[in-house]
Amino acid sequence: MSEHINKAGDLGQIREHLLYLKELGVGLVTAPDDLNADRPAVDRPGTKNELTQVNADLIATTVKIPPPDAASTIDKRSSAISRLRSLPRLSKRTDPAVMGTGAAPDEMIKKTGLTGDRSTIEAIEAIRNEIGQECSRCSLCSLGRSQVVNSVGNTNARLMFVGEAPGADEDRIGEPFVGRAGQLLTDIIEKGLEIPREQVFIGNINRCRPPGNRAPEPDEAAACKPFLLREIETVKPKVIVVLGATAAHNLLDVKTPISKMRGQFHDYMGVKVMPTFHPAYLLRDPNKKREVWEDIKLVRALLNELAE
């Protein structure tokens, strides 16, 4: 009986820590069946012996716990339990003393809408403040914008997405890639790459909506782009996916058609850049989804390789 209670306690702790690992972004975490045995089937992520691969590409750490019915694995299981127990408790995970001195306090995350460590959030905030909500560095300030739409996401992201400029929904809500095209981008990130959207960093070359959703003029892009480049320098992503021809041309300073650029990595200051079609274009021509999927598979493979 007491052995049963102890086992239940161990399993509870393991499940708690697996959830914790998931929140930390630890990739491919597998667990024995009995960890999920008391959960309804619909609530069990993944297939047999597999928890959802939340963030397979971002962090290389893999924790594997042997199957419960293998008598010879008891020692290994004890060792796995002991490793998991050595992690800080879930209830203390937001304490900077536990997470490391660089952890951002909850109030900062709430105030900025950014996640990441304290110093990079502060750096992105400083860039936002420098731009200001009344920015008039280019003509888009007086062509009907509602607000400046800043980049969002995880300031320590290994993956970044760059578009050209806000559209009507983004201009109204104040966040990049919302609305139908934004939902498609979310699907690409969460279904294609199996990464929660909030764990990537997303921005645009221009932060104000061009009238009629026209492409930003070269002088408009030139005025705004330096802020994005500083964000790239701050976040230090390993890979950037650049969405659409205008953004790709502005970021990489080339004029090659997007159809010729996609499908291969380019270089921006040592960062691998994958140009692909803009989600808004995919809404107009769904046949292009297959090519985007090919590009995303290359991104996923590279992230996996870089994590090893």
- Output 94 or 213, the one with its CB closest to ligand SF4: 213
Contact of 234 with 117, CB cutoff 8 Å = no
- Of 117-125, 191-199, 220-228, 263-271, the window that binds ligand SF4 (rule: CB under 6 A) is 220-228
- Count CB-CB contacts under 10 A for residue 251: 23
CB of residue 156 vs ligand SF4: minimum separation in angstroms?
24
CB of 132 to ligand SF4, least distance (A): 8
The piece of 4-12, 15-23, 122-130, 201-209 that touches ligand SF4 (CB under 6 A) is 201-209
Q: Name residues contacting ligand SF4, limited to 62-81 (CB under 6 A).
A: none
Whole-number minimum distance, CB 204 to ligand SF4, in Å? 9
Residue-by-residue DSSP string for 188-253: IIIIIS---GGGSEEEES-SSPPGGGPPPPHHHHHHHHHHHHHHHHHH--SEEEEESHHHHHHHHT
Q: What is the dihedral of CA 289, 292, 298, 300, to 10 degrees?
A: -80
CA pseudo-torsion sign 240, 245, 246, 251 = positive
Q: Identify which of residues 87 and 135 has a Cβ nearer to ligand SF4 in the complex.
A: 135
Least Cα distance to 27 among 161, 188, 160, 199 occurs for 199
Site for ligand SF4 in 131-160 (CB under 6 A): 131, 135-138, 140-141, 148
> Cβ(185)–Cβ(279) under 8 Å?
yes
In whole angstroms, how close is the CB of 173 to ligand SF4 at the nearest point?
Answer: 16
Decide: helix, strand or coil at residue 285. Answer: coil
Q: How many residues bind ligand SF4 (CB under 6 A)?
A: 14
Residue span 97-136 as binding mask against ligand SF4, x where in contact by CB under 6 A, dash where not? ----------------------------------x---xx
Among 223, 241, 251, 280, binds ligand SF4 (CB under 6 A): 223
Shortest Å distance, C-beta 143 to ligand SF4: 9
Count of C-beta atoms within a 10 Å radius of residue 267:
9
Is 252 near ligand SF4 (CB under 6 A)?
no
Residues near 276 by beta carbon (within 8 Å), at least 6 away in sequence:
241, 242, 243, 258, 262, 291, 292, 295, 296
Looking at 206, 234, 246, 250, which residue binds ligand SF4 (CB under 6 A)? 206
Give Cα 187 distance to the centre of its chain.
Answer: 12
Residue 114 or 223 having the CB closest to ligand SF4: 223
Nearer to ligand SF4, 25 or 167 (CB): 167
Enumerate the H helices of the chain as residue ranges: 2-24, 33-36, 74-85, 96-99, 106-112, 118-131, 168-173, 179-187, 218-235, 245-252, 258-261, 279-284, 289-307
User: Nearer Cβ to ligand SF4, position 14 or 124?
Assistant: 124
Choice between 120 and 206, CB closer to ligand SF4 = 206
Q: Is 215 in the site for ligand SF4 (CB under 6 A)?
A: no
Q: Which is nearer to ligand SF4, 107 or 134 (CB)?
A: 134
Does position 208 interact with ligand SF4 (CB under 6 A)? The reply is yes
Contact 79, 85 (CB under 8 A): no
Interface ranges with ligand SF4 (CB under 6 A): 131, 135-138, 140-141, 148, 206-208, 220, 223-224
